[in-house]
Structure 1
Amino acid sequence: MLIHHTCPNCGADMNFNSETGMLSCDSCGHNHSVEQLEDIKLTQTFEQDDAREYHCENCGAVVVTDKDTTATSCSFCGGAVILVDRLSGELAPVQVIPFTISKEEAMQAFKKWCRNGRLTPKGFMTANRVKNITGMYVPFWMYDLNNDVEVHAKATKVRTYTSGEYQVTETSHYDVYRKLDIDYAKVPVDASEKLDDQIMDKLEPYNYNDLKPFKTAYLAGYLAEKYNYNDEQLYPRVKNKVKSYIDNYITSTINGYTSVQYHQKNINTKQKHSYYVLLPIWMIYYDLEKQEHNFLMNAQTGKIVGKPPVSMQKVSLWFLGLFSSSFIVLKIIALLLGGALW
């Protein structure tokens, strides 16, 4: 089933406005509160086909999508369309963080970011070769986790002091034991197979206090995809993700020692709760010297990740400048120590 959010005044399509947080009609300027809308709820979801045809309710054109798309636009009339049968039943998101950065704001932020690339080609710094910028909701699973931690370690404290004519080094040895109960809430793991996990991790954190109950209206005017992996499949990854946080917390509880050697570290992670959410990103496609470079922006915080191109000429000049500066400093030191400058 395909739905449009249409303006009650003029019948035109309405899109979600990141500045007002409301549905907005570009035709007559009418705004409508998202929270006051009632979504259509289905108990059955679509069959897992590679693609499926829908018909645009505005113009009747065929809308063909792949199996992961949940929101898109009609290629004929441009109307925002939402595939509600792919957002129902087991595929229904619980919460969403709406876009807070508009397309225009994203472009300005990206241009500013490009200008900071000291070792990038001059053509990249002008940021005038953006091919496309697309707003997209990415599927995530969020986990609430409880961790029972038991640690055994050996530690030492070394004290050095002078006694008469002797310098004494005194080493004290300790058995260290910690039993910790650690909770983590709202740990996100992206559930899309199309996006690189490491890049998505770098986009974090989002402000999860802005999570709202899911409404299809938030998707109007943007792309969106359903999850490819369920919470059980991603559970090993979220356990691995929190491990470094747990290790850092353990370290923070064992301080004041000269050395610490861990002999046993048992971490039992339990899933308290998991829920499906959608988080917003801007996808930026940049064409430079016949090569496409892709960048992602957190559409709530503005954080940008991606690997910019590098100018080998600028890199060479940078190393040359660094070498020249080091050479001059060494010569000056030699002169001050009584050596010759040249």
Structure 2
Amino acid sequence: MVTHYKCPNCGSDMAFDAASGKLSCPNCGRQDDIETFPEENIQQKFAPEEAKEYHCENCGAVLLTEAETTATHCSFCGAPVILADRLTGDLAPAKVIPFTISKDEAVAAFKKWTKNGRLTPRGFMNGDRIKKMTGMYVPFWLYDIDGKAEVAAIGTRMRTYQQGDTVITETDFYDVYREIDLSYLKVPADASEKMDDELMDKLEPYDYSDLKDFRMPYLAGFLAEKYDFDEDALFSRIESKIVPYIDTYIGSTISGYSTVSYTNKQINANKKKVYYTLFPVWMVYYDFENKEHTFAMNGQTGKVVGKPPISGGKVAAWFMGIAVSTFAVLKTISYLVGGVLW
């Protein structure tokens, strides 16, 4: 189902505006609240489920999409369209964090970020080689987790003292037992096969106070995909995130011992609730030295992640500066203590 949000004033296609949080008309400037947008101005056309070919209701052009696409633009007239049948039933997100950073703000923030790289090439730092910047909603699963741990250990406390010429060490042994319940709320894992997991993890944290109940108008004007991996397929990734935190917490509860030897440690993370959620991401494609570099920006906070190129000359100069500084410090110390440094 192709969906267009038509402006009640002039009939143009409206898109979600990150700055105002409303549907905005690029032609006449009208803005409408998503919750109260008139239904008679929502145009929909049914297409078979999971079909890859749709027709734009605005100009009639054929829209060819991948099966995972849920929101896109008409390549002919540029109208934002939503493939609504791919967002219903089990494919319907429960929550969404809307974009709060506009494209112009994202470009400015990225250019500012490129200037911060101390070891990046000078030509990279001017930030004027952006090839493309795409706003898209990336599918995530948010997990509420009940963590449980049962631990048994032997702790020792040692005391050393001297009697005459004899050094005596006394060791006391203690049985240690801990039974711990911990809860973790809304632990994220991206569910898109195309997105780099490490890149998406580094975009965290998102501010969950901005979570909204999902409504399709939030997607208008942006790209969006449905999930490739269901909640069960990604749970092992969540366990790999949570278990180290539980393990660290266990260690923090066992203190005051000289040594601790675990005889039993069982850590379990259990799903309590799962939310299918869409997170806002600006994908930045940057040309430098005939190579495309990919970066991602959190569409809510503006945080930029990615690996910028490194300047060999700057790295060499940095190490040279460290060496010269170290030599100067050592020479000063040698002078003060009356020694000679060659």
Interval of TM-score (by shorter of Structure 1 and Structure 2): over 0.9
Task: Please say if residues 45 and 88 of structure 1, whose CA atoms lie closer than 8 Å, have aligned partners that are also in contact.
Answer: no
Query: Paired residues, what number?
Result: 338
- Give the deviation of 1:5 after TM superposition: 1.0
Match status 1:119 vs 2:128: no
Cα displacement (A) at 1:114:
1.0
Give the aligned residue type for 1:76. F
Give the C-alpha shift of residue 180 in structure 1.
Answer: 1.0
Deviations 1:73-107 (A, max 9, x none): 00111100000011111111111000011111111
Residue 336 (structure 1) aligned with residue 336 (structure 2) = yes
Root mean square deviation, CA, Å:
2.1
Amino acid at match of 1:264: N
After superposition, give the CA deviation of every residue in 1:121-143 in whole Å (9 maximum; x if it has no partner): 00111111111111110001111
Corresponding residue for 1:53? 53
Deviation at 1:291, TM superposition (A): 0.8
Structure 2 distance, partners of 1:200, 1:123, is 27
Q: Secondary structure at the match of 2:195?
A: coil
For 2:260, the equivalent position in structure 1 comes to: 260
Code of the aligned partner of 2:184: Y
In structure 2, the partner of 1:74 is: 74
Moved more, 313-322 or 264-273: 264-273
User: In structure 1, what is the equivalent of residue 206 of structure 2?
Assistant: 206
**Any gaps of 5 or more consecutive residues in structure 1?**
none
Q: How far 1:56 moved relative to its partner? A: 0.6
**1:288 Cα shift?**
0.5
1:231 counterpart SS class: coil
C-alpha change, 1:80 and 1:104, in structure 2 (3 Å) is same
Q: Deviations over 1:232-278 (max 9, x none)?
A: 11122212221112112212222233332322111222212212110
The answer to whether 1:196 aligns with 2:196 is yes
Tell me which residue corresponds to 2:307.
Answer: 307
Retained in 2: the 8 A contact 1:45–1:86? no
Normalising to structure 2: TM-score of the pair? 0.93
SS at match of 2:242: helix
Q: Can you give the 5+ residue segments of structure 2 that lack an aligned partner in the other structure?
A: none
Structure 1 runs of 4+ with >6 Å offset: 162-167
What is the aligned partner in structure 1 of residue 89 from structure 2?
89
Distance change in 2, residues 1:235/1:25 (3 Å): same
Query: 1:338 and 1:210, CA in 2 relative to 1: closer, same or farther beyond 3 A?
Result: same
Report the CA distance shift for 1:168/1:125 in structure 2 as closer, same or farther (over 3 A).
Answer: farther
TM (norm. structure 1) is 0.93
Percent sequence identity over aligned pairs:
57
1:68-217 matched pairs, under 5 angstroms:
68-160=68-160, 169-217=169-217
SS in 2 for 1:233: coil
Q: In the aligned structure 2, how far is the partner of 1:337 from the partner of 1:330? A: 11
Report Cα offsets for 1:3-32 as digits up to 9, x if no partner. 111111111111111111111111111111
Shift of residue 48 of structure 1?
Answer: 4.6
Query: In the alignment, which residue of structure 1 is the partner of 2:285?
Result: 285
Distance 2:210 2:161 in 1: 56
